[in-house]
Amino acid sequence: MGTAKTETVERARPAGVKLAAGATRKGVETRNRIIKGAREALEQGGMEALTTRRIAASAKVKLATLHYYFDSKEGLLLAVLEDLIADMEEAYRQDVALPKAPEDRVEALIRASWRYIQRTRDKQIAQTELTLYALRTKGSEWLAARQYNAYIDFYGHLVFEDDKDDELRRIGRSVARQMLIGIDGIILQSYALQDLSASNDDIEALIIAMRGYFRRLMAEREKGR
């Protein structure tokens, strides 16, 4: 999973985005504190609260130190995105041992996603705000693409952990895209309507749909061989 995530982060990185500085243990700890401070600001107050002064205060660093490690807002947001995905991966791994059969893994991933979503409301809203910021800010559109490519890589890799086969990797990413379409919609509807019973029903419907979609893709693969 680490390799897939690294490849996603490296893809088409704009010039001038500095992601890290300082290879010492102190440097790594300082960078991590800054990322944590930015995450807290984003999750608690949205993009409007994501000011350099607030982040520096939360991380207990000087403004000059913050700018040394991250010389652009987009660079810091990309680091925050990486951190959010790392947390999600760790939570999923601890939540459930994924079944061996890929189709069963699809269902297990959706259920694990829903459990994670229910206990991380602020994180989910923060990630939505991050997407909207990137789409609305001229020159930052790449961040939204990076965000969704990271999610697609994350889910797609977990459908077929051994995805050296190009066709299986394509199928995994196709399933991941459809999963995200459903999950994103359920997240917003669940938070807006606050109807857990309806949202649980929607998750069951998504599982049925994704199992059927997966079987169709695998059948097409067999016909084409």
pLDDT in tens, 124-175: 999 999 999 999 999 899 999 999 999 999 999 999 876 688 999 999 999 9
Q: Which fold has domain 72-224?
A: Tetracycline Repressor; domain 2 (1.10.357)
pLDDT at 186: 96
SS3 (DSSP) at 45: helix
Cα–Cα dist 45/53, whole Å: 14
- Model's pTM, two decimal places? 0.80
pLDDT digits (tens, 9 = 90+) for 57-67: 888 899 999 99
Half-sphere exposure of 136 (CA within 13 A, CB side): 7
pLDDT at 15: 42
**What is the location of CATH 1.10.10.60 in the chain?**
21-71
**What residue spans of the chain are helical by DSSP H?**
2-10, 25-45, 52-59, 63-69, 73-95, 102-119, 121-136, 141-159, 166-193, 196-223
Q: Tell me, what amino acid is at 212?
A: G
**What is the location of CATH 1.10.357 in the chain?**
72-224
Catalogue the long-range contacts made by 150-153 (C-beta closer than 8 Å, 24 or more residues apart): 150/5, 150/8, 150/9, 150/81, 150/82, 150/85, 151/85, 151/176, 151/180, 152/176, 152/177, 152/180, 153/4, 153/5, 153/7, 153/8
- The token pair that represents 89 in the structure block: 């991966």
Q: What is the mean pLDDT of each run of 10 residues along the chain (225 residues)?
A: 41 43 76 91 87 87 91 89 88 82 95 93 92 92 92 91 84 96 95 95 98 97 85
The CATH classification number of 21-71 equals 1.10.10.60
